[in-house]
Structure 1
Amino acid sequence: MISNEIALGLLFLFQTGFGVLGNSFLMGLYIVTFFTGSRLRPIDLLLSHLAFVNDLVLLFKGIPQIMTTLGLTNFLDDVGCKLVFYCHKVARDLSLCTTCLLSSFQAITLSPRSSWLAKLKARALKCIVPLFLLCWTFYLLTNYTILLYVKGPQGNKNTTEGQAFFYCVATFPVSHNIAIHILTVSLPDVLCMGIMVRTSGYMVFVLYRHHQRAKYIHGNSLTPSGSLEIRATQTILLLVILFVSFYSLNSILILCIPYAKSSWVVYTSAFLSTCFPTCSSFILIFSDSQVGKYVLTLWEKMMIQF
């Protein structure tokens, strides 16, 4: 009979493996399509960046969790713990930021020509790369506290002083400035979540209005799913809903870790933190029709060459 630890290890192994495979496939597809001269959508730059940071989340969270559940302990020293937690937190924040940019960009793209958002379409295309640089710089700087307070388990014998994650310990002193922490960590997350909820509501409104107009003009013969742009919007709405759900549940569990007596809270939190990076790639692969077109185009070019 398989023990609970081995079952958990296999669960994290399959989750991390499939997630990395899906995100790497998407990222490689966009890169190869770009270098073969095919025309990419502007939104594909955001999707490839999302796949990249999701890969980082899976690698820096999934691999240590797999090793822990399979019985490997104390495999990281203080430096290793600091780097693993820091890279995971930065990648997690970048995933949030990219999803926020993705929903905002799609809301601008979907907006009617008479809307004031339509005037931002041309500017939005030019701002994607600068916004990436801004997000990377901001989160690399604001997560510096992890480098100060995360330690290896052998470096802190009394794990009750902080949050124990089996392979590392986070100890935050009482003198830690809560106001600075809220401004630099919590407030940006809340702002991004608020933007995603608001832009998602706007896109739902636009889709509903489009459906009503199409139903009035063409009857039941034309539905919103017939438009490639609207199908992409539906995919992004699904991504936003999943991200907000998993992110909210995981944030609640992280707050409960210092007070929880069961190790299952830590395992569940780790599982939820890697659910979105795993699911998002397959949602894009199976829901975004443009991904299938890229694959078909590359396959035809390969057949011509051989």
Structure 2
Amino acid sequence: MNIWNLAIRIIFLSQTTTGILGNLHLKLYYLVLYYREYTLKPTDLILMHLISANTLVILSAGVPQTMVVWGLKQFLNDLGCDLLLYIQGFARSVFIGTTCLLSVFQAMTLSPRKSCWNDHTVKASKYIDCSIPLLWVFYMVIWFTFLMHTFFKMNSKNITRGRDFGYCSTVGRDEISDSLYAALVICPESFFAVLITWSSASMIVILYRHKRKVQNIRSSHGSRRNYPESRATQNILVLLATFLAFYTLSTILRGCIALLYHHGWWLVYISRLTSLCFPCFVPFVIMRHYSILSLFSLIWLRK
């Protein structure tokens, strides 16, 4: 075993383990919060579903790839491969859609009182409970369509092996699959990415204006503390920059793998590492507000 293979194994194992533990920690926090209050705020509800989608992404993509780099290859049959790819695509789509919903709802919440968006905030909070399950069902149906198309293509006489994922192999692509994927997956994901960028930029502008308004009052008291809007701006900037960086890089690498007939395994490894970075990273940004001490305090208050 050379140093390169050992480094890849350690990186995949560390990333998958850290991501699972971080998301499970936040999942436990929200379960305790719901057990204590029997309800969740709209933002907390969206975050709980985002964490669930993150966990599903890591379990369906990170765990099998970690098993591959540690030597266990081609351990899934055709049916298991199709089901796993279905879960991966479904979880990724729900994850991006939920991130978009969270970003847009936060932008509406922070909008000024005289803004037209402020009038829709109360209405939007009422529809959060039903919009998130609809998002899950919507992408479940879309990816079920891909699953059925792949299943019928497997039963055809002209079967050609396409991509090799390490843990399994799929049948070759056709024009119908490419068209469906572009129309039902790539276009919505691109639209969600634009909405995330716009809403996050709007929040930063709103918080910056608010900071400028109260800057004179705070300077008169001689206080140099890190105020809430500064911390919120930093968190939004971190989440926005991280999401856009890893999403863009992951999309470019996935496009290269899809277009290039001959590509090295290093490209596959980097693509899968970048696609897992944001689901593994986002729990620790959220934990800046919800620490383990908050979880224990909730349990103590319940008792």
Q: TM-score range by the shorter chain?
A: 0.7 to 0.9
1:165 alignment counterpart: 165
2:114 alignment counterpart: 114
1:155 alignment counterpart: none
Q: 1:274 aligns with which of 253, 273, 276?
A: 276
Alignment of 1:61-140 (within 5 A): 61-140=61-140
- Report the Cα distance in structure 1 between the residues aligned to 2:151 and 2:16, rounded to whole angstroms: 23
- Unpaired runs of at least 5, structure 2: 153-158
Native 8 Å contact 2:104 2:195 kept in 1:
yes
Task: Quote the offset at 1:299 in angstroms.
Answer: 5.3
Task: Tell me: CA distance 1:241–1:150, structure 2 relative to 1, closer, same or farther (3 Å).
Answer: farther
Q: Does 1:226 align with 2:227?
A: yes
- Report the Cα distance in structure 1 between the residues aligned to 2:295 and 2:100, rounded to whole angstroms: 27
Structure 1 residue matching 2:52: 3-state secondary structure: helix
Task: Quote the offset at 1:293 in angstroms.
Answer: 6.7
- Report the Cα distance in structure 1 between the residues aligned to 2:233 and 2:125, rounded to whole angstroms: 17
Task: Tell me: CA distance 1:252–1:146, structure 2 relative to 1, closer, same or farther (3 Å).
Answer: farther
- Report the Cα distance in structure 2 between the residues aligned to 1:217 and 1:76, rounded to whole angstroms: 64
- Report the Cα distance in structure 1 between the residues aligned to 2:230 and 2:130, rounded to whole angstroms: 27
- Report the Cα distance in structure 2 between the residues aligned to 1:291 and 1:233, rounded to whole angstroms: 19
- Report the Cα distance in structure 2 between the residues aligned to 1:66 and 1:240, rounded to whole angstroms: 27
Runs of 4+ in 1 over 6 A off after TM superposition: none
Q: TM-score, normalised by structure 1?
A: 0.86
- Report the Cα distance in structure 2 between the residues aligned to 1:64 and 1:95, rounded to whole angstroms: 19
Structure 1 residue matching 2:37: 3-state secondary structure: coil
Task: Quote the offset at 1:233 in angstroms.
Answer: 5.6
Name the amino acid aligned to 1:226: Y
Q: Does 1:284 align with 2:299?
A: no
Structure 2 residue matching 1:280: 3-state secondary structure: helix
2:209 alignment counterpart: 209
Task: Quote the offset at 1:215 in angstroms.
Answer: 1.3
Native 8 Å contact 2:32 2:299 kept in 1:
no
Native 8 Å contact 2:93 2:185 kept in 1:
no
- Report the Cα distance in structure 2 between the residues aligned to 1:77 and 1:15, rounded to whole angstroms: 26
Task: Tell me: CA distance 1:237–1:40, structure 2 relative to 1, closer, same or farther (3 Å).
Answer: farther
- Report the Cα distance in structure 2 between the residues aligned to 1:209 and 1:300, rounded to whole angstroms: 39
Most deviating of 107-116 and 240-249: 240-249
- Report the Cα distance in structure 1 between the residues aligned to 2:232 and 2:40, rounded to whole angstroms: 14
Q: TM-score, normalised by structure 2?
A: 0.87
- Unpaired runs of at least 5, structure 1: 152-157
Over aligned residues, Cα RMSD in angstroms?
A: 2.7
Native 8 Å contact 2:204 2:233 kept in 1:
no
Structure 2 residue matching 1:163: 3-state secondary structure: strand
Native 8 Å contact 1:149 1:172 kept in 2:
no
Native 8 Å contact 2:12 2:62 kept in 1:
yes
1:294 alignment counterpart: 294
Task: Tell me: CA distance 1:264–1:177, structure 2 relative to 1, closer, same or farther (3 Å).
Answer: closer
2:176 alignment counterpart: 176
Native 8 Å contact 2:82 2:170 kept in 1:
no
Task: Tell me: CA distance 1:240–1:177, structure 2 relative to 1, closer, same or farther (3 Å).
Answer: same
Task: Quote the offset at 1:217 in angstroms.
Answer: 3.5
- Report the Cα distance in structure 1 between the residues aligned to 2:242 and 2:37, rounded to whole angstroms: 33
Most deviating of 136-145 and 192-201: 136-145
Deviations 1:34-75 (A, max 9, x none): 212387543111111111110110000111101111111120
Q: Does 1:145 align with 2:133?
A: no
Structure 1 residue matching 2:175: 3-state secondary structure: coil
- Report the Cα distance in structure 2 between the residues aligned to 1:292 and 1:112, rounded to whole angstroms: 33
Name the amino acid aligned to 1:90: F
Structure 2 residue matching 1:71: 3-state secondary structure: coil
2:265 alignment counterpart: 263
Task: Tell me: CA distance 1:69–1:179, structure 2 relative to 1, closer, same or farther (3 Å).
Answer: closer
